[in-house]
Amino acid sequence: MPFIRIESLPFAQPLDLAEVIRAINRELAEATGIPLNHLHTGWQYLPKGCYAKGDTTPQYQPELGHPLIVELLTPDNLETAVITKMFESVAETISRYASFPRQNIFIYHRVAHSGAVFDDGRVATW
């Protein structure tokens, strides 16, 4: 842990998602000091036309108007300053590697509490 889950419509131009998510993990590890092997990132495409904002349902991810949706799941023992660094790092890396406007990235944070996670074959506590 942490886990990062990104959702978007497909991009009109091909995007190497594997490269982008590896870069997110590398840069996040560098920014926060969290070991690289503890970072997990996935990116899923929503089906074309299946993301509405208001009354519009585009086929491809627009640069403005329909933000990328990023969920950041972290353990409850991280300080606010670390979470802020994570927000900044993830947004900057997506923007740079996906050539996507930073102002159209929506990131929200969820907290996993000690004893409320099953990992590595057991209930995890920290």
pLDDT in tens, 37-91: 999 999 999 999 999 999 999 999 999 989 999 999 999 999 999 999 999 999 9
Q: What is the pLDDT of residue 4?
A: 99
Q: Which of 2, 8, 23 is nearest to 112 (CA)?
A: 2
User: Quick check: is 67 in a domain?
Assistant: no
Report the predicted TM-score, pTM, of the whole model to 2 decimal places. Answer: 0.93
Q: What is the pLDDT of residue 20?
A: 98
User: Quick check: is 62 in a domain?
Assistant: no
Q: How confident is the model at residue 30 (pLDDT cuts 50, 70, 90)?
A: very high
| Residue ranges making up the domain that contains 46 | 3-57+76-124
Q: Which of 36, 35, 68, 65 is nearest to 53 (CA)?
A: 65
Q: What is the pLDDT of residue 87?
A: 99
Contact between residue 53 and residue 62 where contact means Cβ atoms under 8 Å apart: no
Domain CATH code at residue 119: 3.30.429.10
- How many domains does the chain fold into? 1
User: Quick check: is 24 in a domain?
Assistant: yes
The Cα–Cα gap between 77 and 3 comes to 15
